[in-house]
Structure 1
Amino acid sequence: MTSPRHVPVMLDRVVALLEPTLATPGAVVVDCTLGLGGHSEALLQAFPECRLVGIDRDLHALELSRQRLAPFGERATLVHAVYDEIGEVLGNLGIPGVHGIFFDLGVSSMQLDEAERGFAYAKDAPLDMRMDDSRGRTAADVLNEASVGELTRILRVYGEEKFARRIAEHVERARQVEPFTTSGRLVELLYDAIPAPARRTGGHPAKRTFQALRIEVNDELRVLERAIPAALDAVVVGGRVVVESYQSLEDRLVKQAFTAVTRSEVPPDMPFVPEGMEPRFKAVIRGAEQATDDETDINPRAASVRLRAVERVHAGETSKEGRA
């Protein structure tokens, strides 16, 4: 079953990457970004003796995925949490180690489709952008309260926006007249703030600003910096961590964390690797994989995906390596 609003990205490849570890009876897999449950449903169907722990900060997504995964009964345990809390979630469930962990990063199809959430710049809606709309400040709060310097930093770092300072100054002037409440007014401002030649290249002129605000509101990069080492710590020997990223900032963090735990610290001229100095993980795929042209034609969201995967090959602590 696949929701018409939600086509899981690289679904068959994700299942194949996790197959060597999840085919074991009693295996446990964690979907750290449950969303509408498309990947989780496929994993539960493919591996009938595995158990799933699904994590999501979005209460609306949890409710929908709970309905979708209800046929699997006690094999699926769903938890309202942020994915950097994976250690606490597993500890509360009495699970000492897991066999597979999956991340599908970024904003979900459901969040983009629900106009009232304010994630999509194509629809005028309240400027919210909280993945967990039960707590925290909104995108409107950031626009109305951040200083020009802070807003410039957010847009430049999280949105890689060349006109960050110019946009921040336009926001400062506009909010003195009236606080920001809706996405439509922000989009209008961006058309005024970004020079016409720049608006004609690089996609929609609001894309980078909306990305930056979403990342700031949900603390996405700092959460990811904590989550990947936590995931690496949680998998048993033979277990795999699989991550789908959709923009360069998050993919860079994943790449750095995976490189740190798969890299040997032994000098290259040493004829052998002494016991205890072997890397804790090995790369399952070389670099990052992308979706095929056929999949991208069917599912445009797959166009920017970068898929990475590592497998644990030795026991021992990994958190320091993961944060390198």
Structure 2
Amino acid sequence: MAEMMYWQGILRAHDEEMARDPLVFAMGEDIGVAGGTYKATSGLFAKYGEQRVIDTPISENSYTGIGVGAAMIGARPIVEIMSVNFAWLAMDQLMNNAAKIHYMSGGRIRCPFVMRVPGGTAHQLGAQHSARMEKVFMGISGLRVVTPATPRDAYGLLKSAVRCDDPVVIIEHESMYNLKGEIPDEEFFTPLEGVEVMRPGKDVSIFAYNISVHWALDAAQKLAQDYGIDAEVVDLRALKPMDRAGIAASVRKTHRAVVVEEDEAPVGVGSEVMAILNEECFFDLDAAPVRVHALDVPIPYNRRLEKAAIPNAGEVVAAVRKMLGR
């Protein structure tokens, strides 16, 4: 095992896949000479050259389209959008081409395309740079959507995504790039489907993804220490396709569910989990499921208001205590 930061896991995955396959290349704004806004491509330009680590103009729809076209003829591009907020500009290429070409070609054309996007609320970047777009990507048939919550998964999910024949959107988080964690020395791959139980428990299931996994783990520790509540924390990790069986298995053990997300509640990841709970394990629940989520407002620039708009571990603790009458 080696301790690495989140961005270092991403960089290692890039490097290994580019060394293995000359058809793997990376493109995006400032990923070459500058090494990436969050250092996730640092040093790759010098090692692989300008034809495989491509600095692009500020034109997300254009270079995403180039990547999608390259994938259709056999290359394996890793396209980085500097911020998920800018992915709106690339949605035509992503939705109408990458996601649909395999179906529309009758299975004759594959699109092994990877889009990496940092998102989330990250310290006073304002409403136009604090988007949470998971629910948008989840609503597009033909895409896979994954969200690494740890350096280990940041490495393993990118490795798996590059070798997948489907288009994959990897949603990272701007506040987690310096997060430290252990990554095995040997090569490994994190599955693009399925949940992971981060902390087993018996009293309540806390479902989370991306940065909210860490709020859930902090909450579970406090619940155990201060209130004797044994919470199970489940990292949803793969948002599309979502692991219905894995979600149901946890709730059938604990009989209670709390869903934690950084996004606003309407039409979100939590809404989909709630629907799964209703459809798969209605009679296994001892209490109505609860969502912990951001306020339905544009994220404020003011630091205090920004913190007030998004949830935290304390709100998760309060939700669980209320559910259990503690």
TM-score (normalizing by structure 1):
0.26
Structure with the greater alpha carbon radius of gyration = 1
TM-score (normalizing by structure 2):
0.26
Name the one with the larger strand percent.
2
